[in-house]
Structure 1
Amino acid sequence: MPAVTVSDITTLARIPEPAPSAAERGVRSVTEAPTGFEGEGFPVRRAFAGVSHTDLDPFIHLDQMGEVEYAPGEPKGTAWHPHRGFETVTYIIDGTFEHADSHGGGGTITDGDTQWMTAGGGILHIERPPEALVASGGLFHGLQLWVNLPRALKLAPPRYQDLRAAESALLSTPDGGVLLRVIAGEVAGHAGPGATHTPMAMVHATISPGAQLRLPWRRDFNALVYVLSGAGSVGAERRPVRTGQLAVFGPGDVVTVAGAEHQDARHPALDVVVLGGAPIREPIAWGGPFVMNTRAEVLAAFEDFQAGRFGQIPAERVPHGDLGELPTQPA
């Protein structure tokens, strides 16, 4: 169950019913996320696999981390690694993760917290579970989203935002059947805490069995719905979706998601993340941890990283600073 809940959903502000003239967004595609491993071996679902960048823009990459119940000694993270040219958004639904970077950002995020790291011109960072969680084991579940930056901001100064769970705007539908957590952007006049370079919105919604979310959505944004857990349907055509699937919507004003009447005992509701942003519509050259506009810029990023121009690992972190698995050339 997601960490951020409320005891009485009727006390929350309600999103308005869409206007009768609002156009329902149709569903262009539903795809299945393949599974894999990241960092030192923690399990992920690659949510955007097989989807055209044209439909994803301004987003690049989305991993669902877990949901996994670790035994003692099993929790894993990443080694120190570089990024340039985009922002990483790490949202922890359940569990705990630690972050540190070469520009002084960092901290511990847990149970509904979000870290928003602008890599910009270049950064080194590390993400891993705290030692206490490694020793004890426990539940771990989260997301990491990569948000592209336009050419003019590719080399912007790095920035770190520590967004606490309590800062998210909490909303409900008129009938109280859906709990929405606005992490970034604005939904129905309510803004989330994340400050974004690229205009976008990110919402985590828990939809009760049989309930429906009709979410007003900016017409100039694309619209994506990723199913974290549960079963339901998307769009006016009620296309079926389930855990690990991504729905891409076409143009319009309203995104519709409905929860199935019957959910499994482990996941009593449908949990989804709704994403959308203003497309950047620029060329993309992607080489490992660098997302630029041209291959020459990717090669320059590798050269700058190898020359030590992405900052230094903080002295107190050096004993854990294994750089041995970092890429040495573009993928």
Structure 2
Amino acid sequence: MPAITVPDLTVLPRLPRVDRSVLTERPVRSVTTAPDGLEGEGFPVRRAFAGVDLRDLDPFIHMDQLGEVEYAAGEAKGTPWHPHRGFETVTYILDGTFEHADSEGGGGVITNGDTQWMTAGSGLLHIERPPEELVLSGGLFHGVQLWVNLPRAQKMAPPRYQDLRGNESALVSSDDGGALVRVIAGDLGGHRGPGVTTTPITMAHATVSPAARLETAWPPDFNALVYVLAGQGTVGPQGHRIRKGQLAVLGAGGALSVAAAPTQPQAEPNLEVLLLGGRPIREPVAWAGPFVMNTRAEVVQAFEDFQAGRLGRVPAVHGAPTSVVEG
């Protein structure tokens, strides 16, 4: 799980020590285990938010852990062309390479530690797939896709992209030097990530060494989620156990903590967690498939617009014949 690493954590700025006389640590409200599933053309995912009330997730809607999977030659899969409207997709790649493109001509390639932030807004068609060389050769693939809701006033905003390179993330260490934290969006202890968010959020990926502990201040007006990508450890003031594929929803407070178990699985030497939080939007949510709106009527309209081609059309393949070819 390379993402972005550094050979010496001591050269990084450190998160401020949490003052427990001022900040109350957030307790654990629930721990859920993500079920396995298949997405797109058949690549394996863990449904990270399954079984969690949307009110506890707000402003987030959905998250998949993509892989971790070692593809043999010819096995790598992606998604076919599909529409989006009313929210943002955040695709963070830890291992491997992914290509993305849309009906407006946007797109690019993201690889180890990169993030592709797509604001679907008023709507577009989108495709995500492994590059041809990965399909031919096989290889490791591991990533995360997070859906962030948009407030009513921004749901029909023009689509836009942010391609964030891994080396743009703010790199910091825990106050004791036992954890590497990559701040992708928002602010963590005064260190700001490169992601520009419509809805205020914080997103960070932390690698916590065995027996080390990560503590950080957390905005009191944000919710707080901890998702385990790999390894095992504890979360919260009561030391609730948590392991790969589990999500902890935290309660109110001004700080949070996670700790890595002294012994980790052989293939997962560290505790790897995503720290997620945002300011709740507190608006009605009507969600069906790739559309996240405020009312059922708006979702029905999104389906009608998609079927009528108003969200864009799949681009033509350059050089393809324009008339019937018979062989």
TM-score range, shorter chain: over 0.9
1:6-47 Cα distance to aligned partner (Å, 9 max, x none) = 011100010000123211100000000000000000000000
1:5-154 paired onto structure 2 within 5 Å: 5-19=5-19, 20-154=21-155
Distance in 1 separating the partners of 2:51 and 2:264: 27
Shift of 1:308: 0.8
Structure 1 position 265, deviation (Å): 1.4
Look up the match of 1:264: 265
**Does the alignment pair 1:220 with 2:252?**
no
* Residue aligning to 2:3: 3
Write the letter of the residue equivalent to 1:157: P
Deviations 1:128-183 (A, max 9, x none): 00000000000000000000001101101000110000100000012110000000
Report the equivalent of 2:305. Answer: 304
- Looking at structure 2, the residues matched to 252 and 28 of structure 1 have their Cα atoms a distance apart, in angstroms, of 12
Equivalent AA in structure 1 for residue 111 of structure 2: T
Aligned to 2:325: none
* Residue segments in structure 2 that go unaligned for 5+ positions in a row: 321-327
Amino acid at match of 2:105: G
Provide the residue aligned with 1:328 in structure 2.
none
Distance in 1 between the 2:193 and 2:106 partners?
Answer: 21
- Number of aligned residue pairs: give it: 319
Quote the offset at 1:318 in angstroms.
9.8
In structure 2, C-alpha distance between the alignment counterparts of 1:78 and 1:240, rounded to whole Å = 34
Distance 1:298 1:75 in 2: 32
Moved over 6 A (4+): none
Q: Distance in 1 between matches of 2:154 and 2:210?
A: 43
Write the deviation string for residues 216-266 of structure 1: whole angstroms up to 9, x where unpaired: 100000000000000000001000000000000000011110000000110
- Normalising to structure 1: TM-score of the pair? 0.95
Superposition deviation, residue 315 in structure 1: 3.2
Structure 1: gaps of 5 or more residues: 320-331
CA distance in 2 between partners of 1:11 and 1:312 (Å) = 49
What SS does structure 2 have at the residue aligned with 1:80?
strand
Change (3 A) 1:133 1:252: same
Q: Name the amino acid aligned to 2:293.
A: M
SS of equivalent to 2:249: strand
- Secondary structure of the residue aligned to 2:80 is coil
Aligned to 2:323: none
| Residue 317 of structure 1, CA deviation | 7.0
Q: CA RMSD in A?
A: 1.1
Separation (CA, whole Å) in 1 of partners of 2:121 and 2:317: 24
Deviation at 1:314, TM superposition (A): 3.1
Q: Distance in 2 between matches of 1:2 and 1:212?
A: 20
Amino acid at match of 1:16: P
- Paired with 2:90 and 2:317, the residues of 1 have a C-alpha distance of 25
Q: Distance in 1 between matches of 2:217 and 2:278?
A: 14
The whole-number CA distance in structure 2 between the counterparts of 1:318 and 1:145 is 35
- TM-score of the aligned structures, taking structure 2 as reference length: 0.96
SS in 1 for 2:297: helix
Alpha-carbon distance in 1 for matches of 2:274, 2:257:
12
Distance 1:103 1:129 in 2: 20
Per the alignment, residue 326 of structure 1 pairs with none
CA distance in 2, matches of 1:215, 1:247: 16
- Mapping of 1:137-286 within 5 angstroms? 137-286=138-287
Provide the C-alpha distance between the structure 2 equivalents of 1:314 and 1:213, rounded to a whole number of angstroms: 46
CA distance in 2, matches of 1:125, 1:317: 18
Read off the aligned partner of 1:238 and give its amino acid letter: G
